[in-house]
Each structure stands twice: as C-alpha cells, then as structure tokens.
C-alpha cells in the first residue's frame, strides 16, 4: 500500500508528504506552501513599495514600520516553511531545526506584534526606528536561549538530539511570555479604541489605528487559543487518549499552519494594505484617551 501512495524508492521518513492514507500531511503541505508563497509575495511587494517611497519621502517612522513589518512577514514565511520539518519524521537532521526555529520564528513574530502594539499606544521607545529596535531586541533573547540549549545538548554533552514533549514546551517559555505581553497590550489597545471618548486626532488615520487595534487583538486572541490547544494536546491530551507519539507531529504541524494563516490574514495583509495607502510621511497614528477639551 505504501508503494501505491509514494515512490517505492522514497525514504520512509518522507512518507507523510505523499501518503494518501495519512491525508493530514498532504493537506498541510498544500496550505503551508500557499501561505509561504503569499508571505513572500507580500514581503516582495512591501520592499518594492518602500524603495519607491524612499525616493520621494524621508521618514524614519515609515522606515521603522516597514522594517518591522518585513521581519514579521519573514517570520510568517518561516513558520510555514518549518511545517515541513514536522511533516517529515523526526531525524537527527530535522531535530535541531525543530528545536531552534520553532521558538525563534514565533518569537520574531510576537516581538513584531508587541512592538506594533506599543507604537499604537504611543510609547516613546517606539518612536522613529524604536519600533524596529524593540522588536529586534526582544527577538534576540530567544535566539540566545535556543542556541545555548543546542550547544549544551549537542556539543558539550554530546547527546543525541532527543527531547520530551515537556522539554519542548519549556524551551518556549520566553515565547509564551511574549505572547502574553502582546495579548495584554492588544486588549488594552482595543479597550482604548472602544471607549466612547472624543479624540482630538480624528480622521482616516485614527480610523486606521482603531482598525489595527481590533485586528491585533483578534490575531493575538486566536494565536493564544492555538497555543493553548497544542500545548495541552502535546503534554496531556495525546497521552490520555493513547495517541502519543503518533499525533505529536500532526498537532504541531496543524498549530504551525493555522497560526501562520492567522498571522497572515489578521496582521500581514491588513498592515501591508495600511502602509500602501499612506501617501505622506504622517506619523504612526496613536490612540488618545484624553477628553475633547484637551490635546493629545
């Protein structure tokens, strides 16, 4: 039966890429490929647009936002790409890729979302190129954590790249902190946009800020839900229903693809559209909660 689904000479570790009996691999492969290509398309379009704009406008706020958005789209494309490392069975080659890139790519995405929330809230640290700097600084921490873990396990202790489900989750504690902080900030941002106060800065830009606040909150709520489900399934659910380790890779693959599409639809497309619609070097709109009798 395996020969009817895949090429007879194919290494069994790649069987889920073509095995029609395990349709989850083929479906996720198609969704991941589509998301990867769309992310790269948006990234390419954003870079071309920013290069054309830079010839006309000199604005550090736009440059920082474009750079941060480019990192976010790059992280989203990477999340779709790393799905293949989980569709392919665990090997000494895919193990370091899984352990390192899973947390690093999500930390980059959540760092960019957190920096965007802070920018919309008007934090001074995100002015100018601060948004890009904040996102990059938060991202580097997870790179150090993942690199240190791999060096200790693979180089110093000379152990095979093996890990338990609990160890995999423990390696992502910092990413969970980024997700939690981003979620809190986005909910705060959404609450501010919903309060029936008068805004001294009105018009299309403020409407864009309100719309971004709502989409950021929805994106992070869905992301938190996805992370909660896959962590529970990986650490407890699969074991209790007797599907460990058979369901471990499908659970993580589904989490990657679903969260990637949440990132792309919830923030990627809308943010690129917002940036493209800006015709001038106007500063990033921020929400102001002071009453109409005061200035923001």
Q: Which residue has the tokens 């071309």?
A: 48
Residue spans per domain, the chain: 2-277
Which of 283, 288, 285 is CA-nearest to residue 57? Answer: 283
Task: Give 151's pLDDT tier (boundaries 50, 70, 90).
Answer: confident
pLDDT at 41: 96
pLDDT at 196 over 70: no
For residues 215 and 250, give the distance between their C-alpha atoms in angstroms, rounded to a whole number.
Answer: 28
pLDDT at 254 over 80: yes
pLDDT at 138: 96
For residue 260, is it left (φ>0), alpha (ψ between -120 and 50) or beta?
A: alpha
pLDDT at 235: 94
For residues 252 and 18, give the distance between their C-alpha atoms in angstroms, rounded to a whole number.
Answer: 18
pLDDT at 32: 96
Q: Which residue has the tokens 């962590």?
A: 231
Which of 102, 176, 85 is CA-nearest to residue 143? Answer: 102
> CA neighbours within 13 Å on the CB side: how many for 21?
7
pLDDT at 156: 66
pLDDT at 207 over 50: yes
pLDDT at 296: 40
**pTM, rounded to two decimals:** 0.88
pLDDT at 241 over 60: yes
pLDDT at 56: 65
For residues 3 and 15, give the distance between their C-alpha atoms in angstroms, rounded to a whole number.
Answer: 10
pLDDT at 206: 64
Which of 282, 270, 277, 279 is CA-nearest to residue 42? Answer: 270
Q: Which residue has the tokens 């293949």?
A: 84
Q: Which is more confidently placed, 262 or 189?
A: 262
Asked if 238 and 245 count as a contact pair (C-beta separation under 8 A), the reply is: yes
Asked if 253 and 205 count as a contact pair (C-beta separation under 8 A), the reply is: no
The fold adopted by the segment(s) 2-277 is Rhopdopsin 7-helix transmembrane proteins (1.20.1070)
Q: Kindly report which listed range (40-54, 152-166, 221-235, 281-295) carries the lowest average pLDDT score.
A: 281-295
Q: What is the three-class DSSP state of 228?
A: helix
């Amino acid at each position: 039966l395996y020969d009817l689904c895949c090429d007879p000479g194919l290494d069994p570790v790649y069987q889920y890429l073509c095995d029609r009996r395990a349709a989850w691999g083929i479906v996720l492969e198609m969704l991941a490929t589509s998301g990867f290509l769309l992310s790269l398309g948006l990234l390419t379009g954003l870079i071309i647009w920013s290069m054309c704009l830079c010839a006309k406008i000199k604005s550090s706020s736009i440059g920082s936002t474009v750079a941060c958005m480019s990192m976010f789209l790059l992280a989203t494309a990477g999340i779709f790409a790393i799905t293949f490392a989980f569709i392919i069975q665990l090997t000494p080659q895919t193990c370091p890729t899984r352990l390192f890139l899973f947390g690093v790519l999500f930390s980059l995405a959540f760092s960019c979302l957190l920096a965007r929330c802070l920018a919309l809230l008007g934090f001074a640290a995100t002015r100018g190129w601060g948004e890009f700097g904040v996102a990059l600084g938060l991202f580097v921490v997870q790179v150090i954590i993942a690199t240190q873990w791999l060096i200790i396990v693979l180089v110093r202790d000379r152990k095979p790249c093996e890990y338990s489900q609990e160890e995999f989750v423990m390696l992502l504690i910092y990413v969970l902190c980024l997700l939690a902080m981003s979620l809190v900030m986005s909910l705060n941002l959404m609450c501010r946009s919903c309060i029936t106060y008068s805004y001294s800065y009105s018009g299309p830009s403020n409407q864009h800020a309100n719309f971004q606040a709502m989409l950021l909150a929805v994106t992070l709520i869905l992301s938190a839900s996805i992370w909660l489900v896959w962590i529970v399934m990986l650490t407890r659910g699969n074991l209790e229903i007797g599907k460990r380790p058979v369901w471990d890779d499908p659970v993580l693959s589904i989490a990657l693809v679903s969260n990637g599409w949440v990132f792309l639809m919830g923030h990627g497309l809308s943010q690129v559209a917002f940036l493209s619609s800006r015709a001038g070097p106007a500063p990033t709109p921020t929400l102001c909660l002071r009453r109409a009798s005061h200035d923001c």
